[in-house]
């Protein structure tokens, strides 16, 4: 889409959101879940197959380079400074052969080209070097959209007294959304970092963040999240 078309789409979406917000508020939606006592950062699929150009899963590169990665870098700085947990989530498959009698891709490969993310090609599923994990941070390998589905994520979070997840990554319409939905279903306070979430399709981020904020979690700016992290850090050090 051209810049003009994108701006028009954004205008129409905002118009729809304004109308829907009135309806939602009248009916008791758009409540706040807020932060708990101990948040963790859950970064979803910010690996090279999604963050770098030339892959089937490549997301909006302008937003990735100018907004999502810088937003993640700022969040990482504040999570690390306040000694709060960080989980980097990525996706890869051990048996990416679509003709195999048995595969760990489930049926997802009938819809999208997950077979390209071969576990043997470590560069593809490695976390982007601009936001690379450091010592003490956990990298979790998933095989489905949600970071919770079939993984150890909930158990690790609870074992470390985490009650809140700040979710970033891609894509807004799939893996980020599913992670947030499963997170609140599992009893975690769910916060979506607005500027650190992306997608491939114009309008997908705006629509999904609006819907998430109405039903499944609080959509907050990176700056506001960082202020809250610093407040939590000060309380913990007191």
Quote the pLDDT of residue 190: 98
* Percentage of residues in the chain having pLDDT higher than 70: 98
Q: How confident is the model at residue 7 (pLDDT cuts 50, 70, 90)?
A: confident
Checking if the pLDDT of 1 tops 60, the result is no
* Pair (69, 121) in one structural domain: yes
Q: How confident is the model at residue 222 (pLDDT cuts 50, 70, 90)?
A: very high
Report pLDDT digits (tens) over 194-217: 999 999 999 999 999 999 999 999
* Pair (70, 182) in one structural domain: yes
| Domain containing residue 22 | 1-30
Checking if the pLDDT of 4 tops 80, the result is no
* Pair (21, 88) in one structural domain: no
Across residues 41-50, what is the average pLDDT? 98
* Pair (24, 37) in one structural domain: no
Q: How confident is the model at residue 48 (pLDDT cuts 50, 70, 90)?
A: very high
Rounded-to-integer distance, Cα 38 and Cα 71, Å:
20
* Pair (3, 42) in one structural domain: no
Across residues 42-48, what is the average pLDDT? 98
Quote the pLDDT of residue 5: 85
* Pair (82, 194) in one structural domain: yes
Checking if the pLDDT of 108 tops 60, the result is yes
Quote the pLDDT of residue 14: 94
Q: How confident is the model at residue 6 (pLDDT cuts 50, 70, 90)?
A: confident
* Pair (39, 23) in one structural domain: no
Checking if the pLDDT of 53 tops 60, the result is yes
* Pair (55, 10) in one structural domain: no
* Pair (113, 188) in one structural domain: yes
Catalytic residue among 59, 173, 175, 181: 175
The answer to whether residue 226 is catalytic is no
Across residues 100-129, what is the average pLDDT? 97
Quote the pLDDT of residue 2: 56
* Pair (21, 84) in one structural domain: no
* Pair (20, 96) in one structural domain: no
Average pLDDT, the chain: 96
Checking if the pLDDT of 3 tops 70, the result is no
User: Domain count of the chain?
Assistant: 2
* Pair (19, 119) in one structural domain: no
Quote the pLDDT of residue 91: 98
């Amino acid at each position: 889409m051209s810049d003009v078309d994108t701006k028009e789409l954004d205008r129409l979406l905002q118009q729809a959101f304004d109308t829907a917000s009135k309806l939602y508020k009248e009916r008791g939606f758009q409540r706040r879940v807020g932060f708990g006592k101990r948040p963790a950062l859950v970064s979803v699929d910010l690996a090279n197959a999604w963050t770098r150009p030339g892959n089937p899963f490549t997301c909006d590169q302008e937003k990735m380079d100018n907004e999502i990665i810088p937003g993640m870098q700022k969040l990482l700085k504040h999570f690390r400074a306040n000694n709060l947990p960080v989980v980097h989530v990525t996706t890869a498959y051990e048996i990416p052969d679509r003709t195999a009698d048995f595969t760990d891709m489930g049926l997802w490969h009938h819809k999208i080209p997950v077979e390209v993310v071969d576990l043997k090609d470590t560069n593809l599923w490695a976390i982007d070097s601009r936001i690379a994990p450091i010592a003490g941070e956990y990298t979790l390998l998933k095989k489905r959209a949600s970071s919770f589905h079939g993984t150890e994520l909930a158990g690790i979070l609870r074992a470390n007294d985490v009650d809140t997840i700040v979710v970033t990554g891609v894509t807004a319409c799939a893996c980020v959304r599913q992670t947030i939905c499963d997170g609140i279903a599992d009893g975690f306070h769910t916060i979506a970092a607005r500027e650190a979430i992306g997608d491939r399709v114009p309008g997908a981020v705006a629509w999904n963040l609006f819907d998430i904020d109405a039903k499944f979690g609080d959509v907050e700016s990176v700056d506001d999240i960082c202020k809250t992290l610093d407040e939590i850090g000060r309380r913990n050090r007191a």
